[in-house]
Chains A and B, each alone.
Chain A
Amino acid sequence: MKQLPLFPEQASTIAGRVDALFYFLLIITGFLSLLVVLLIIYFAIKYHRRSEAERPRPVEGSLPLEILWTVFTFGLFMVMFFWGASIYSTLAHPPEDALDIYVIGKQWMWKFQHSGGQREINELHIPVDRPIKLIMSSQDVIHDVFVPAFRVKGDVIPGRYTTLWFQATKPGTYHLFCAEYCGTQHSGMIGRVIVMEPAQYQAWLSGNVIQQAGALTPSPVMTGEAPTSGTPQGSTSPAGVTTGMAPGSAAPLAEAPGTGAAEGSLASAGEKLFRDLGCITCHRLGTQGRGPNLVGIFGKSIALQNGETVVADENYLRESILHPQAKIVAGFQPIMPPYEGRLSEEELIQLIAYIKSLK
């Protein structure tokens, strides 16, 4: 029945596990609630007051009974807790080989950037049966990526990266909602996730780049891009600027393109930026300069000046670009200027993609 659906579609590897737990809770809590209700109805009928003067002898309580239902309830809750926590743990640890896709939330649209440089708005094309890791940030307020068919959701927060991963199991088109209230057009900030067979996906990737480089047309935007008036500090770029994207011709699927990043890819844009901003003068590639050598740094533990260590993930790289003084690497001077306010979210993503590609 299309008009009255009761169960959402299952289209990711985690969906079945979430549903199994959901049905388990439904059955257990349904059974216990029904038991309580039936007991109440039974008592209410059996012990219905028969005369106004009736005064029953009180039953004061029972310690064994109290202990029994406390322990039983707590035990049952612990099953729910551990089961739910194990699913959450899976959701929190993306597989190593996941395909990175960058997401920027903005009032009121979704901007996606693939490693190969392909960009789209409010549409996300992904291959089936392949883990996808979204690295998400917001340009303004808090948003939230929510794909019900995948049973995943994750806040998109300004000023930091959050991640979300999933692996789609069947080709198709699925709802993508913004689930965190973000202002006037919140309910219009929706999109589609288009899951494709790997071959189709490859074709889409190259076609997307050619089309964009040639005609400079963005992917179809489902909802009206409302003007961003009313935002005090405004947005860094008006809606639609993203049409000037992805220069260069057809790029192969960028799989960690290395130092000489494929032309048109995110990493190559980052490489150009890295030179233009002069990062290269201190962060010399392969040799030690005034700044730390960045080759192979991503994902490693880094010793800091203050004796702590930190994992060089996206958030650390972001912080070190915007606020270099926050966590100084051991053995280096705090001489790097802060880039806060000088880089757009897109440029940050390009720089980080470039640093990630240095292997």
Chain B
Amino acid sequence: MIVDRVEPRENYLNADYGIKSWLLTTDHKRIALLYLVSVTLFFFVGGVFAVLIRLELLTPQGDLVQAETYNKLFTMHGVTMIFFFLIPAIPAVLGNFLVPLMIGARDLAFPRLNLASWYFFILGGLIAIWAILAGGVDTGWTFYTPYSSSYSTTYVAVTILGIFLSGFSSIFTGLNFIVTIHRMRAPGLTWFRLPLFIWSLYATSVIIVLGTPVVAITLLLVAVERILRVGIFDPALGGDPLLFQHLFWFYSHPAVYIMVLPAMGVISELVATFSRKNIFGYRFVAFASVAIAVLGFLVWAHHMFVAGLSVYGAMIFSFLSYFVAVPSAIKVFNWTATLYKGSISYQTPMLYAFGFIGLFTIGGVTGLFLASLGIDVHVTDTYFVVAHFHYIMVGGTIMAYLGGLHYWWPKISGRMYPEGWAKLGALVIFIGFNLTFFPQFVLGYLGMPRRYYAYPDEFQVLNVMSSAGASILGVGYLLPMIYLIWSMRYGPRASSNPWPATGLEWRTPSPPPTENFKETPVVTWEPYEFRPREEMEVIGKLNINDESG
């Protein structure tokens, strides 16, 4: 283990003081922290809605809130969590912090665009929150027309404006990553020496740049139809209600991959580091990311199997949905095979990685049920779907986000967190999550439709189980927040490479200096090159200067 004890020294956290030095910063690491604080805030706003939803569903009658309020709760839960937490969480927090560090660059290609991206995000988020405070919105996060464009009397247009602005934030970040990864890699860092997290962020950025404008324009068209009464989606005005669904899902299905591809990238890093092995079939895993990004654009209509698609249209989309599931399955097999003959440690990030693989597998295989036309007709628009996408998007993305946050926390904060508490947190989240969402698969198969605030009596037991799980899950999410904040002040100081891992980000002090690297690193080694013990003894400690190759 490397120990560098040259403190107090200047790093990106103490280089400058005052609120202005944060709000006007162009340092990608500081912007990452701005994102960390803001997405955490949105996560808790969305979480409060989730708690109210689960409380309402404790009884079949719908006695906690009125139907109108309930509809607003699930809409705002979805809007906040998807657009203001899940989509930005890993790319904007971990990606912003790590992309330059992992490729040996001083910053992203466009630092000021990066800051602008955070301001667009905040502006969009504040407008959405304003819409909530002003009275809320009740269309569901999917904004299906003509309900959203002609019938809802809630704050639809304002919410859409908020989402529209935050879309710019995504696009800016995506562009920045693509250019940075293409142009600013350290000497010797070829494409096939890139960490898999970078591969996944690259694939994600491509989806963001191609897909986000489509959803932005689509939502804008809803606002145009609402305000100007131009017939686009409402048949009463001469529009086509299904046109919206085609346009919306063209982005929103790939959006699932915007959430889960970076998560897969994080998991690859964790599995490699905590089993001290190169990812089994590195190139297959890298190409699987790209394949998912490309194929993800071809499956949107599988959300519309009961909306009157032609039989052959439906079959093509079902077929392609199975096609896109193959690279995801490959990744799971490769992570498992990576463990073979590894040196596996059960530190907290690895527990999250195990948890991710478990939840992602359940979410993935239930996706196979939905891709199957005959079964989809029965379970679509029920709690089966609710459970499925929570397993993928929440189970997958949040497990990876928290795993990544713990893994890179020493680098971000320069401090270690209390391992015991962290392991407990990971365990509580895993148990709480399964207790919350597994009963919902059964509920859905039994036929409980989603977005119901009152339901037939026979569904109550499973709903109570789900609500009980949600309270455990809630505690689980609070734990990391508490001890991570605690660790910033009281945690033991972290070395530059506490795990020890192989990426470039571990070859600079924790926390890194503002310029990231004192001198630009030259990469002469393969990705995840963990040296066998005898070689370690020969070449001594793992250090940037003695990696002469």
A interface residues, Cβ below 8 angstroms from B: 2-8, 17-18, 21-22, 25, 29-30, 32-33, 36-37, 39-40, 43-44, 47-50, 52-62, 65-66, 69-70, 73-74, 77-78, 80-81, 83-89, 91-93, 107, 140-142, 144, 146, 148-149, 151-155, 157-160, 162, 175, 177-188, 230-233
Contact = CB atoms under 8 A, between A and B. Distances in A.
Contact of B458 (A3, A53, A142): A3
Interface of B: 1, 62, 67-68, 71, 138-140, 142, 144, 146-147, 150-153, 234-236, 240-242, 275-278, 280-284, 305-308, 311, 314-315, 318-319, 322-323, 325-326, 329-330, 332-334, 336-337, 339-346, 354, 357-358, 361-362, 365-366, 368-369, 371-378, 380-382, 442, 445-447, 449-456, 458, 460-462, 528-533, 535-536
Contact of A55 (B343, B357, B358): B343
B446 A154 contact: no
Contacts of B275: 47
B315 A85 contact: yes
Q: Which of A25, A142, A175 has the most CB atoms of chain B within a 10 A radius of its CB?
A: A142
27 contacts: A40-B339, A44-B354, A47-B344, A55-B276, A55-B530, A55-B532, A56-B343, A57-B532, A58-B528, A58-B529, A59-B340, A61-B281, A73-B329, A83-B372, A84-B318, A85-B318, A87-B373, A89-B311, A141-B147, A148-B378, A153-B378, A153-B381, A155-B307, A159-B240, A181-B450, A187-B449, A187-B453
A47 B339 contact: yes
- B contact patch SS: helix
Shortest 8 CB-CB distances between A and B: which pairs?
A148-B447, A159-B235, A87-B374, A84-B372, A88-B373, A43-B339, A187-B452, A29-B365
A142 B233 CA distance: 11
A62 B449 CA distance: 45
Contacts of B325: 73, 77
Nearest to A159: B235
Given A18-B378, A66-B281, A142-B307, 18 more contacts: A3-B460, A4-B461, A17-B374, A18-B375, A25-B368, A43-B336, A44-B344, A49-B344, A53-B533, A55-B531, A56-B532, A58-B277, A62-B281, A65-B281, A84-B373, A88-B305, A88-B374, A232-B150
A152 B382 CA distance: 12
A162 B308 contact: yes
Contacts of B151: 107, 140-141, 183, 230-232
Contact of A184 (B71, B341, B382, B535): B71
B280 A61 contact: yes
B466 to A, nearest CB: 13
A230 B33 CA distance: 43
Contacts of B236: 158-159, 233
B511 to A, nearest CB: 24
B311 A88 contact: yes
Contact of B306 (A4, A18, A153, A233): A153
Given A146-B381, A231-B151, A22 B361 contact: no
Contacts of A186: 67, 71, 451-452
